[in-house]
Structure 1
Amino acid sequence: MIQMKMSKKKKIHITGSVGSGKTTLAKKLSIELGIPYYEIDNIIFERHLSGDVRRSDKEIVNILDEIVTGDAWILEGTCTKKWIVRSFAAADCIILLDIPYLVRLKRIIFRYLKQIVKLESANYQPTFSMLIQMFKWNHKFNSVNKIDFYQLTKNYLDKIIVQTRK
């Protein structure tokens, strides 16, 4: 359903909780539409073998501005910082993956297990403490992040597509 609606869209922002399928959808749309996709986490963090280093807000905004002023892009990730609004303003559409809590929980566990046995790669170190952090982010999404998302997108409600099942 989402793919059919996206054929004319060239600037797409995908958001949702951890385990909602943001990266999977971004990769799929990127291939189908021939548009590059960017992960918000990789904008916020500089990836190093020794661990992630958070960029300054100025660096983050500069990278984000470079992306969203482009002709075509897919941006995926969950962020409720004020600077993310520039991508909502520039987007042709904003996709909220509002997948049920238990489905996300199951996906988080399976992703972690696949990463541990090296069947799936990750931008981060798949440690037990990261798994616990993902459980916390998943739990927080409905009560905090989704509310913040709607507050940040109140001027762009006509651009939002909500996907509740996957």
Structure 2
Amino acid sequence: MTSPTRIHITGASGSGCTTLGRTLAERLGVPLLDTDDYFWHATVPLFQKKRDREERNAGLKRDMALHAQCVISGSVMMWDSELDDAFDLVVFLHVPDEVRMARLIARETERFGTPDAEFIAWAATYETADTTTRSLALHREWLAQRTCDILPITGNYTIEANVARILCHLGEPSSSSTPPCPTFSST
């Protein structure tokens, strides 16, 4: 990338934002800023203590100011209005619910031995919840208000296919092993 570009990859928990973000950041040679690193204190086990709202917002803004080119994975909805339009591109991943929930249960089992029932119950409401929580309705509302470019990717595609689609969208060459500009449906 030759110009300042901040790419935010967002979607429901389990949609693959962090995995795609990590792979895209590596491909572009830019830092990955994962919102979980700002939202949560580093604890063992993970995800036990939330950061203060001002602390997390200041940390992410500080790191974004240091990197004109970066990939931000996760969700900044309802964080800080300054962050809402701090991106050049927002990639919205919308993965089928059954795929996403299976990923979450497997990930929770791998990390903690057993899924956290409260977290799984919350994540299961993504498709049907209203705009008072992280939900499809809130994501759609938030995306409709953005001033930057939006790239929706709906479906369960490989990481490489998603990276290729984003690179094509940016006008960047994809790797020789991926077809140029794959077609995806939109939300």
Whole-angstrom distance in 2 between the partners of 1:34 and 1:153: 26
**Structure 1 runs not aligned, ≥5 long:** 1-5, 116-121
What aligned pairs does 1:36-115 form with structure 2 within 5 A after superposition?
36-49=31-44, 52-69=48-65, 70-83=67-80, 85-113=81-109, 115=110
1:53-95 Cα shifts (integer Å, max 9, x gaps): 2221111111121133231121111343241x43331111111
Counterpart of 1:17, as a letter, is A
Deviation at 1:21, TM superposition (A): 0.9
What aligned pairs does 1:108-123 form with structure 2 within 5 A after superposition?
108-113=104-109, 115=110, 122=111
Counterparts in 2 of 1:25 and 1:9: CA distance versus 1, 3 Å:
farther
Question: Secondary structure of 1:143's partner?
Answer: coil
Counterpart of 2:56, as a letter, is I
Deviation at 1:158, TM superposition (A): 5.2
Counterpart of 1:98, as a letter, is H
Counterpart of 1:109, as a letter, is I
**Structure 2 runs not aligned, ≥5 long:** 130-134, 158-187
Other-structure match for 1:159: 149
Determine which structure has greater relative contact order: mean sequence separation of CA pairs < 8 Å that are 6+ residues apart, divided by chain length: 1
Whole-angstrom distance in 1 between the partners of 2:121 and 2:44: 25
Counterparts in 2 of 1:164 and 1:7: CA distance versus 1, 3 Å:
farther
Report % sequence identity: 22
In the superposition, the TM-score normalised over structure 1's length comes to 0.76
Counterpart of 1:151, as a letter, is E
Aligned residue among 135, 143, 153 for 2:120 = 135
Q: Which has the higher helix share?
A: 1
Aligned residue among 25, 28, 31 for 1:30 = 25
Whole-angstrom distance in 1 between the partners of 2:2 and 2:18: 18
Matched-pair contact (CA < 8 Å) for 1:14–1:97:
yes
Whole-angstrom distance in 2 between the partners of 1:88 and 1:79: 7
Counterparts in 2 of 1:32 and 1:139: CA distance versus 1, 3 Å:
same
Structure 1 vs Structure 2 CA RMSD: 2.5
Q: Which has the larger radius of gyration?
A: 2
Q: How many residues align?
A: 149
Whole-angstrom distance in 2 between the partners of 1:137 and 1:95: 23
Matched-pair contact (CA < 8 Å) for 2:11–2:74:
yes
Residues 1:18 and 2:19 aligned together? no
Deviation at 1:43, TM superposition (A): 0.2
Deviation at 1:14, TM superposition (A): 0.9
In the superposition, the TM-score normalised over structure 2's length comes to 0.68
